[in-house]
A and B are shown apart, each in its own frame.
Chain A
């Protein structure tokens, strides 16, 4: 067998081979289209991330689909209105989703803290303002367990600034397409997303299709061509 003692690897090489966790190794991936919005090209584990605005939840689904991949788990606490069919269309694996009923006010932070123990992403939309003490405790817990606390209300109820907040905005030239006056059906929507937060150097913006005709996230084909492009997709399902 090998005599590891006698091999005499140079110390410099040993140091280079030693396992080392870089900050970038703990980044959850996000869809390629969105990566310019994220300081490390993804969501750092331990962060608090918020989504707000008109397309907030669709954006959340698109991010989860990529961040969780095949193995990640998400817990959704106290958001009974979540449209899971849409989540599945964006690519979220439903067998990795666990939904928790809205806990009584006194137990909210205990429940969220428990969920942070095992889930990669814990999504919340608190019904009441979170106290600064609970917020500190939960942030610390998320960092320790390397989980992401995901605010579906854009962090409105959070007492401090989130690490990253993504605001979706429907601009004049964008918005829903596919619907006529009495015909067609909703097909795609163009939104612009603004990223602000403690971890972003300067605000960044980006226009995307959320969703596109397949129900997924996609880049806007060519700037300005969104409205002009033909939207007549024959659909057998329309009445």
Chain B
């Protein structure tokens, strides 16, 4: 069984291109402090995908840092897809920036793969209008054609991998191209550095050792389609429909319906133990126009991903398709489904979706209160309770990722002078000046050698009645940054238990006592 012959069109750096930045200006799109796409000019200066924002700015100081806007990416990609739709009806979008379709019909009609590629290039380039590049490749199977768009030759001319030669084409490529970092890491350590050497293994062994995910990767490496051809045809009742009354002309109305439909569809699929890898989004307008578009996902589409794609598509249609009337009916059809066993990681999937929800709400709160108003904690080394935790803006971390600095073992170095656990439950954001007196009423001082002038007996806080000290321990001296006169701090801390049963951590610095924390 050979894979479906597929043409893939890829617009590199689409997240940057969609912002309308000319390719010769350095620009980078940054998500959670990491570069996810950059313009060729920025790449020339040493900016690379995966770098931290600061690193990118260090390499190329005048790089324009842009936010990611998936809605905009999808909306501006729509004209390209509509152009391709004049050539073939079976266009499927993977992500904004990449689109593919089976070439069997169109190639025959237009006179071969080469002629089809030229035709695609000729029709797409005017739409792009020099704002971005387009790379085109034809090969057996979506995976091979996707990789073929990444080869050097694809920059200028379309690449056509001859029929049956895809496995040979793939064999030379490194296993990293599978885009499964954990798997390719293991393969490399086993000495399997190319897709060819991985494909040479017996499928049975691969399934036994790497499970379903390994099996899928193995099929790809061997130049076959990701899913075996015995895809179950979904029963027609799995598709879900929303009738708009009155017809919707605004994207927010459509987006609301899309979200509800996506949830419903996902629920149906879930109940049947299925996962959707390709969805058809279908809209009918009041005047009878009929629009249909396929969206593919390399894994399985989650409810959030379904809703997102439906929203992008409707946004694109409403903006670009010059509809004569509003959308009257929206249908989501699970076009290609697979048994959900491969994604039995429900646990992980669920977690990713959870993190997406959290990220969305965090973004909303940042919108309401400002970017630095939402913080997440991380461990830092330090003596005082307030120094052991650092707060960093939630916008610079990826909440869905494992964050090492939030784990207990992050700070390994001992901190002499650290107050032993348990830590205080309340750490005052602004320490409060207090008075600490010895039994004869003199203020307690700590000498340069870390000795108390007298036993602390009374603690008074502002206008509150002074409390007598029942027990105390310390001082824990902390002589910090003694090498730097500007930031040097000499402090000493005491734990005190007052007669009302409350326990506190108090600090003396420059002869003044502060209430630093309360063991609440």
Asked if B501 and A176 make an inter-chain contact with CB atoms under 8 angstroms apart, the answer reads yes
Residue of A nearest to B391 (CB): A99
Which interface class (under 10, 10 to 19, 20 to 34, 35 or more) fits B? Answer: 35 or more
Residue of A nearest to B495 (CB): A186
B374: chain A residues within 8 A (beta carbon): 98-101
A117 to chain B, nearest CB (A): 5
Asked if A215 and B423 make an inter-chain contact with CB atoms under 8 angstroms apart, the answer reads yes
Asked if A185 and B495 make an inter-chain contact with CB atoms under 8 angstroms apart, the answer reads yes
Known: A99-B391, A180-B473. A83 touches B455 (CB 8 A): no
Bitwise, A153-193 to B at CB < 8 A (1) or not (0) is 00000000000000000100001100111111111110000
B362: chain A residues within 8 A (beta carbon): 98
Instruction: Provide the bound-state CA to CA distance between A148 and B418, in Å.
Output: 35
A185: chain B residues within 8 A (beta carbon): 419-420, 473, 495
Instruction: Provide the bound-state CA to CA distance between A176 and B369, in Å.
Output: 40
**Is A111 an interface position by the 8 A CB rule?**
yes
Asked if B424 and A170 make an inter-chain contact with CB atoms under 8 angstroms apart, the answer reads no
**Is A47 an interface position by the 8 A CB rule?**
no
A122 to chain B, nearest CB (A): 10
Instruction: Provide the bound-state CA to CA distance between A55 and B425, in Å.
Output: 8
Asked if B476 and A239 make an inter-chain contact with CB atoms under 8 angstroms apart, the answer reads yes
**Is A97 an interface position by the 8 A CB rule?**
yes
Asked if B421 and A215 make an inter-chain contact with CB atoms under 8 angstroms apart, the answer reads yes
Asked if B426 and A82 make an inter-chain contact with CB atoms under 8 angstroms apart, the answer reads yes
Interface residues of A in 107-140 (CB under 8 A from B): 107, 110-111, 114-115, 117-119
- Out of B351, B354, B408, B427, which one reaches A81, CB within 8 Å? B427
Asked if A238 and B501 make an inter-chain contact with CB atoms under 8 angstroms apart, the answer reads no
B364: chain A residues within 8 A (beta carbon): 114
Residue of A nearest to B502 (CB): A54
Asked if B476 and A179 make an inter-chain contact with CB atoms under 8 angstroms apart, the answer reads no
Asked if B373 and A71 make an inter-chain contact with CB atoms under 8 angstroms apart, the answer reads no
A239: chain B residues within 8 A (beta carbon): 450, 473-477
Interface residues of B in 399-440 (CB under 8 A from A): 399, 402-403, 406-408, 418-429
Asked if A119 and B388 make an inter-chain contact with CB atoms under 8 angstroms apart, the answer reads no
Asked if A215 and B422 make an inter-chain contact with CB atoms under 8 angstroms apart, the answer reads yes
Instruction: Provide the bound-state CA to CA distance between A157 and B202, in Å.
Output: 68
Instruction: Provide the bound-state CA to CA distance between A237 and B493, in Å.
Output: 13
**Is A150 an interface position by the 8 A CB rule?**
no
B465 to chain A, nearest CB (A): 17
Residue of A nearest to B379 (CB): A94
Instruction: Provide the bound-state CA to CA distance between A238 and B423, in Å.
Output: 14
**Is B375 an interface position by the 8 A CB rule?**
yes
**Is A63 an interface position by the 8 A CB rule?**
no
Asked if B422 and A238 make an inter-chain contact with CB atoms under 8 angstroms apart, the answer reads no
Asked if A181 and B471 make an inter-chain contact with CB atoms under 8 angstroms apart, the answer reads yes
Number of A residues whose C-beta is below 8 Å from B? 57
Known: A100-B365, A182-B473, A186-B495. A238 touches B420 (CB 8 A): yes
Instruction: Provide the bound-state CA to CA distance between A14 and B391, in Å.
Output: 52
**Is A206 an interface position by the 8 A CB rule?**
no
Instruction: Provide the bound-state CA to CA distance between A187 and B497, in Å.
Output: 12
Known: A181-B455, A184-B473, A185-B495. A100 touches B373 (CB 8 A): yes
Asked if B520 and A54 make an inter-chain contact with CB atoms under 8 angstroms apart, the answer reads yes
Asked if B429 and A83 make an inter-chain contact with CB atoms under 8 angstroms apart, the answer reads no
- Out of A57, A98, A114, which one reaches B376, CB within 8 Å? A98
- Out of A83, A93, A94, which one reaches B424, CB within 8 Å? A83
Asked if B473 and A238 make an inter-chain contact with CB atoms under 8 angstroms apart, the answer reads yes
Flag the segment in A26-34, A38-46, A84-92, A195-203 that touches B: A84-92
Asked if B361 and A71 make an inter-chain contact with CB atoms under 8 angstroms apart, the answer reads no
Instruction: Provide the bound-state CA to CA distance between A95 and B376, in Å.
Output: 8
Residue of B nearest to A116 (CB): B361
**Is B159 an interface position by the 8 A CB rule?**
no
B361: chain A residues within 8 A (beta carbon): 75, 114-115, 117-119
**Is B54 an interface position by the 8 A CB rule?**
no
Asked if A94 and B422 make an inter-chain contact with CB atoms under 8 angstroms apart, the answer reads no
Residue of B nearest to A180 (CB): B471
Known: A95-B402, A180-B471. A119 touches B358 (CB 8 A): yes
- Out of A55, A75, A107, A235, which one reaches B369, CB within 8 Å? A107
Asked if A81 and B423 make an inter-chain contact with CB atoms under 8 angstroms apart, the answer reads no
**Is B368 an interface position by the 8 A CB rule?**
yes
A235: chain B residues within 8 A (beta carbon): 420
Bitwise, B40-78 to A at CB < 8 A (1) or not (0) is 000000000000000000000000000000000000000
A75: chain B residues within 8 A (beta carbon): 361
**Is A58 an interface position by the 8 A CB rule?**
yes
Asked if B354 and A175 make an inter-chain contact with CB atoms under 8 angstroms apart, the answer reads no
* Given pairs A55-B425, A115-B361, 16 additional interface contacts (CB within 8 A): A55-B520, A73-B354, A82-B426, A83-B425, A83-B520, A93-B406, A97-B377, A100-B369, A114-B365, A117-B357, A118-B354, A119-B358, A176-B519, A181-B455, A237-B418, A238-B473
Which residues in B have some Cβ–Cβ distance to A below 8 Å? Answer: 350-351, 354, 357-358, 360-362, 364-365, 368-369, 372-379, 385, 388-389, 391, 394, 399, 402-403, 406-408, 418-429, 450, 455, 471-477, 495, 497, 501-503, 517, 519-520
Which residues in A have some Cβ–Cβ distance to B below 8 Å? Answer: 54-58, 61, 71, 73, 75, 80-89, 93-95, 97-101, 103, 107, 110-111, 114-115, 117-119, 170, 175-176, 179-189, 211, 214-215, 235, 237-239
18 contacts between A and B (CB under 8 A): A55-B520, A71-B350, A71-B354, A81-B427, A83-B385, A85-B423, A89-B423, A94-B377, A98-B375, A98-B376, A99-B377, A100-B374, A101-B375, A114-B365, A118-B360, A181-B472, A185-B495, A189-B503
